[in-house]
Amino acid sequence: MPQSVTVSEQIKYPTNLPCDDGIPLETPTHRENMNILIDSAEFTMGKRKDFFAGGNMFIYFNPQELKNKDLRDPDFFLVKGVDGTKERKTWTLWEENWKYPNVIVELLSESTYQVDLVDKKELYEQTFRTSEYFVYDPYNPSYLRGWRLNRYGFYQELLKNPEGWLWSRELNCYLGVWTGKIKGKLKTYLRMYDRQKKLVLLEFEREQERAEKERLEKEILAKKLQELGYDPGELVGGRE
C-alpha cells in the first residue's frame, strides 16, 4: 500500500534566500522615516511578543518563482500573530505559516510612484490581502493616502480627519505628518499619533521626557524645602 504524502512534503521550499539586493533606500530621509515607523509601532504594541515590525526587508511570497516580481520589500510593515522574538533577515511566507502583513506603508519617490500606487497596491490588495495600505511622499508631505479592505475584498480609500491624518485600525493609531528636530535636523516625517491625538514618542524622546520630568520634580522639591527654611543643597549633597 503506497504511503500518503502531504502537500508540504511534496513541495521543496527554498531556504537561505537573499536578504539584500544591494540597492539602498532612496534617501537618508526614507531610511530615517522607516526607522521612526518601526520604533513607534513597537512602542504602541507594548510588551506584546506576538507581532513583527520590519522595513526594507524582502517578502518572499511565491516559492515557485523567486524573481523580482515575486518578492517585495515594503518600507514598513507589521505582521500580527507571529513569534516576535525571532530574528529575521527576510519575511518568507512559507516559514511564517503564510502570515501576510496586516498593514504596509510605502514611502514614495519619483521613481516609485507608479509601482507603489498601481502595481504594489494591486498586489497587496489581491494577493497579500493586507488589511491596510498607506503611501506617503517624504518630499511632498501633503501627499498621504491610505486604503482599507472592504467587505468585498477591495481597497476603499480612507478619509482624513480635520488634522489631515489617517486612522489605522491595525496600528490603533493615526498616521500623520509631523515637523520637528531629530538628530539636530529640522525635517518633516510621517509619525504615529494615539487615539487621544498625542504624538507617539520615539525612544530618545521618551528619555528626554523622563529626564525633563525628573528635573522639574527636583525643582519643585527644592522650592518647597526653601519655603520651609532648608537649604536643598545641604540636604541633598550633605555638608562638607
Q: Could you tell me which of 57, 130, 60 has the C-alpha nearest to residue 93?
A: 60
Task: Say whether both 119 and 206 belong to one domain.
Answer: no
121-129 contacts, C-beta under 8 A, 24 or more apart? 121/147, 121/155, 123/72, 125/149, 125/153, 125/154, 125/155, 127/61, 128/61, 128/100, 128/101, 128/104, 129/100, 129/153
Asked whether residue 3 is assigned to any structural domain, the reply reads: no
In this prediction, residues 135-162 reach a mean pLDDT of 97
| CATH code where residue 136 lies | 3.90.1570.20
150: burial class by Cβ within 10 Å (0-12, 13-18, 19+)? exposed
Higher pLDDT, 14 or 187: 187
- CB atoms closer than 10 angstroms to residue 237: 9
Which pLDDT tens digit goes with each residue over 55-86? 989 999 887 765 555 567 899 999 999 999 99
Which pLDDT tens digit goes with each residue over 204-221? 888 887 888 888 888 888
Asked whether residue 4 is assigned to any structural domain, the reply reads: no
Task: Say whether both 181 and 120 belong to one domain.
Answer: yes
Which pLDDT tens digit goes with each residue over 154-201? 999 999 999 999 999 999 999 999 999 988 889 999 999 999 999 999
Task: Say whether both 160 and 234 belong to one domain.
Answer: no
Asked whether residue 1 is assigned to any structural domain, the reply reads: no
The reported pLDDT for the residue numbered 6 is 47
Domain count, the chain: 2
Q: Is-contact 71 43, C-beta < 8 A?
A: no
Which pLDDT tens digit goes with each residue over 22-36? 455 568 899 999 999
* Cell numbers for 48: 506584546
Asked whether residue 62 is assigned to any structural domain, the reply reads: yes
- Give percent of the chain above pLDDT 90: 61
- CB atoms closer than 10 angstroms to residue 155: 19
In this prediction, residues 132-160 reach a mean pLDDT of 97
